[in-house]
DNA sequence: CTGAAAGCGCTAACAA
DNA sequence: TTGTTAGCGCTTTCAG
């Protein structure tokens, strides 16, 4: 391109990148653009990244690509990043410890400028995370707070209490919990996902003096099939729970189906509640009562946090608590009699 | 690392990359690994890509991140790619022409090794696509056939005919179509998505002599809200259709909700059919009758096609037709009386 | 079996 | 206002 325009590489670089304090004559500028166009020139981003020591890519790791909630977060991240001139590299770990580790390693090697993580095995990943930070790649964590990381915490705990209070107010005393968070392919039990809701559940049970059989909490995997089985167990309990909450809307859909297949009416015989308020929740029949999480906003905020730190690495770690809110729809009602 | 191990960069490179026909003494090999570990060395993938002239990244463009069907494809792509040592760069265009163009441009600059595209504006993008190919980046297209591209075609046409035949066999003569494919933010009408099903629909109407009011086909945007409006229009028709098919399961869910909200029973008063067989389809109530698309397999096959071409660029363009199959569940039944 | 050296395509001091 | 030059971190011929 330089040869074609009759100038040096430097000049071309200045012109094409619109380098601010490089004064180039209009004439040269025009010639360069013309040459670039006529040659269909495309800068090589790989070389640029190498030289600039910055890729302008944000790495995003989500735990489960099947769950619409995480896609919403991803959308938020992507939109915001695009607005600010960044690309997003999305990886899902499907709640698999090994994939999580690999994802982080790969993101580190690819030298993404920063990471937004919603990882599930933080203890075991501490070394990975340290390594990434040692590389100077900042991290924003979505989920639970970590002492020296920027964190975005979805206040599911408060939402869970709201949801349970709502059920109790309707008269429910025996509430099942489909706790679909364990990693099916992993022997490691340290998954942190959902602990907030579990704590809130236990606390509410305590406070309201609700039934507390251990069986009312059914841990299971993150796929619909797992939720179906867990729901089966719950329905087999005697007395049967009059309400079931699921760790997220995605699984709540399966819970609802399983309950209906068992010949029960929702909410007449059994109420159901979920978390996230995925877009589909309102289009189910009955429409799902759920705890809204504003996923897209979460994604956007995560980008903001990351870029703020990128700009000023000295900032003290930020912890943002994102509010949730109960959305009462049709799937909850007073228990029978 | 080289200095630390007391050898040259070359040797380190050989050892770390396990370069096949470089014979290195066991002793040196060990020393190099040790040095690398103790220094927490991570190869810089950017530099590697620059030098190797290959990034080992596959670009994937999907049209709508809200629709679970496309995530399934993405999962298939990602899994297969990971197995073969590639990473995936995922972008969704949300059926927006400008975003589609930008996505392609960016993918080209980032020098991905190849692309898997499910683009919706092929005519307008012809230049972009040509430019990419001129760069030597092979393309696999998912969707409709293009003469000189590797293509993966989902046989929705055949599936649509199966679905309509099924409805006709049940006794339906008046079938609405929620055709949710138009790009809301784009003035360009050349979207190709769904044309296969539209053609099949028209053909079936012809063949079976079904009702053919133009209003029975309701074009609309790709979001649930659009489908809700389109369904409203369909329900307002007199006589009312006795069955409605939606361009995909994602929208079929909304159609179902809208119909139920209108006080009708599904399938008693009105049957509903969709396409894709997204994982949720079977968990709805009533469970959705749909045309299964085997999305994950599509993703895997796409990777296979791409890598085959990467290995042997001289191959003649491959066109693969992926079969679909009707899955009859609970949402279709004979029309009333 | 190992090392020296060239260079991938670009940017940014520094000179002119 | 423009050009010269030195790398970014790695791979890979080619010689030793």
Over residues B75-128, the pLDDT tens digits come to: 999 999 999 999 999 999 887 888 888 888 888 887 899 999 998 777 667 888
Q: Distance between CA A129 and CA A150 in Å, rounded?
A: 13
Provide, rounded to the nearest whole percent, the portion of chain A with pLDDT above 90: 67
Q: Distance between CA A299 and CA B224 in Å, rounded?
A: 21
Cβ partners under 8 Å of residue B68, min gap 6: A66, A68, B249, B250, B276, B278, B279, B280
Residue closest to A256 by CA, chosen among A288, A291, A303, A304: A288
Over residues A73-112, the pLDDT tens digits come to 999 999 999 999 999 999 998 888 888 888 999 999 988 9
Residues in chain B: 337
Mean pLDDT across A47-60: 93
pLDDT band, very low/low/confident/very high, at A146 (cuts 50, 70, 90): confident
Over residues A164-173, the pLDDT tens digits come to 999 999 999 9
**Residue A134: is it exposed, middle or buried by C-beta count within 10 angstroms (0-12/13-18/19+)?**
exposed
pLDDT band, very low/low/confident/very high, at A20 (cuts 50, 70, 90): confident
Computed on alpha carbons and rounded to an integer, the radius of gyration of chain A in Å comes to 25
| B186 pLDDT above the threshold of 50 | no
CA dihedral over B110, B115, B119, B121, signed as positive or negative:
positive
What pLDDT score was predicted for residue B183?
60
Cβ partners under 8 Å of residue B188, min gap 6: B97, B121, B124
pLDDT band, very low/low/confident/very high, at B187 (cuts 50, 70, 90): very low
Residue closest to B88 by CA, chosen among B50, B64, B62, B53: B62
Q: Distance between CA A8 and CA A3 in Å, rounded?
A: 7
The reply to whether residue A71 touches residue B71, judged by beta carbons under 8 angstroms, is yes
What does each C-alpha distance from B23 to A242, A313, B19, B32, B159 come to in angstroms? Answer: 70, 45, 9, 14, 57
A92 three-class SS: strand
pLDDT band, very low/low/confident/very high, at A186 (cuts 50, 70, 90): very low
Residue closest to A307 by CA, chosen among A59, A114, A69: A114
A272-290 residues labelled b (16+ CB within 10 A) or e (exposed): bbbbbbbbbbbbbbbbbbb
- Residue A153: beta bridge partners? A321
What pLDDT score was predicted for residue B185?
46
| B150 pLDDT above the threshold of 60 | yes
CA count, 13 A, side-chain hemisphere, B273: 30
Over residues A228-279, the pLDDT tens digits come to 999 999 999 999 999 999 999 999 999 999 999 999 999 999 999 999 999 9
The H or E element that residue A243 is part of is strand A243-246
Decide which of A52 and A188 is more confident: A52
Paired tokens of B136: 């030597």
Q: Distance between CA B165 and CA B113 in Å, rounded?
A: 43
A21-47 residues labelled b (16+ CB within 10 A) or e (exposed): eeebeeebbebbbebbeeeeeeeebbe
What pLDDT score was predicted for residue A189?
54
What pLDDT score was predicted for residue B196?
92
pLDDT band, very low/low/confident/very high, at B189 (cuts 50, 70, 90): low
Mean pLDDT across B17-44: 86
Chain A residues whose CB is inside 8 A of the B55 CB are: 46
Considering only CA atoms, which residue is closest to the C1' of nucleotide C5?
B10
The packing angle between helices A156-170 and A195-208, to 10°, is: 40
| A9 pLDDT above the threshold of 90 | no
The reply to whether residue B75 touches residue A92, judged by beta carbons under 8 angstroms, is yes
Mean pLDDT across B312-324: 93
Residues in chain A: 337
What pLDDT score was predicted for residue A190?
60
How many angstroms away from the CA of B233 is the closest CA of chain A?
Answer: 18
Q: Where are the alpha helices (DSSP H) in chain A?
A: 2-5, 9-17, 26-38, 45-52, 68-83, 97-109, 122-134, 156-170, 195-208, 224-236, 249-261, 295-311
Interface of B with A (CB under 8 A): 40, 42-47, 49-50, 55, 65-66, 68, 71, 74-75, 78, 82, 87, 89-92, 102, 106, 108-111, 131, 134-135, 224, 253-254, 256-257, 260, 279-280, 282-285, 287
Cβ partners under 8 Å of residue B72, min gap 6: B278, B279, B295, B296, B299
What pLDDT score was predicted for residue A185?
46
Protein-to-nucleotide distance from the CA of B43 to the C1' of D10, whole angstroms: 8
Q: Distance between CA A213 and CA A175 in Å, rounded?
A: 10
Protein-to-nucleotide distance from the CA of A51 to the C1' of D6, whole angstroms: 12
A91 three-class SS: strand
Q: Using alpha carbons only, give the angle A130, A132, A134 rounded to the nearest 5 degrees.
A: 70
pLDDT band, very low/low/confident/very high, at B166 (cuts 50, 70, 90): very high
Protein-to-nucleotide distance from the CA of A36 to the C1' of C16, whole angstroms: 26
Mean pLDDT across B8-32: 86
Residue closest to A186 by CA, chosen among A320, A72, A96, A276: A96
| Least confident segment among A23-37, A201-215, B41-55, B178-192 | B178-192
Q: Distance between CA B78 and CA B86 in Å, rounded?
A: 8
What pLDDT score was predicted for residue A188?
47
Mean pLDDT across B231-237: 98
Contact between A57 and A89 (Cβ < 8 Å): yes
Strand D: positions under 7 A of a protein C-beta atom: 1-5, 7-13
The reply to whether residue A257 touches residue B284, judged by beta carbons under 8 angstroms, is yes
Cβ partners under 8 Å of residue B195, min gap 6: B144
């Amino acid at each position: 391109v330089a040869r074609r325009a009759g100038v040096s590489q430097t000049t071309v670089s200045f012109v094409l990148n619109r380098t601010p304090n490089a004064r180039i004559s209009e004439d040269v500028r025009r010639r360069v653009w013309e040459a670039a166009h006529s040659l269909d020139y495309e800068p090589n981003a790989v070389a640029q990244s190498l030289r600039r020591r910055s890729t302008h890519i944000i790495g995003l790791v989500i735990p489960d690509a099947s769950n619409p909630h995480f896609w919403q977060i991803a959308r938020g991240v992507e939109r915001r990043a695009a607005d600010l001139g960044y690309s997003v590299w999305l990886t899902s770990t499907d709640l698999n410890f090994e994939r999580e580790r690999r994802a982080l390693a790969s993101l580190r090697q690819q030298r993404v400028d920063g990471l937004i993580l919603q990882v599930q095995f933080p203890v075991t990943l501490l070394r990975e995370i340290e390594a990434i930070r040692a590389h100077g790649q900042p991290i924003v964590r979505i989920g639970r707070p970590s002492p020296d990381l920027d964190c975005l915490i979805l206040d599911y705990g408060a939402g869970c209490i709201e949801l349970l209070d709502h059920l109790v107010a309707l008269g429910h005393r025996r509430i099942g919990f489909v706790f679909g968070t364990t990693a099916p392919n992993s022997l490691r039990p340290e998954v942190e996902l959902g602990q907030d809701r579990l704590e809130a559940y236990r606390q509410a049970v305590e406070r309201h003096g609700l039934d507390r059989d251990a069986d009312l909490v059914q841990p299971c995997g993150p796929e619909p099939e797992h939720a179906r089985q867990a729901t089966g167990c719950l329905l087999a309990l005697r007395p049967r729970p009059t309400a079931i909450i699921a760790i997220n809307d995605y699984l709540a859909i399966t819970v609802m189906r399983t309950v209906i297949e068992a010949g029960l009416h929702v909410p007449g015989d059994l109420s159901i509640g979920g978390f996230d308020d995925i877009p589909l929740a309102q289009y189910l029949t009955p429409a799902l009562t759920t705890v809204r999480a504003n996923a897209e906003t979460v994604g956007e905020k995560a980008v903001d946090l990351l870029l703020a730190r990128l700009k000023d690495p000295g900032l003290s770690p930020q912890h943002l608590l994102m509010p949730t809110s109960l959305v009462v729809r049709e799937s909850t009602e007073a228990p029978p009699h």
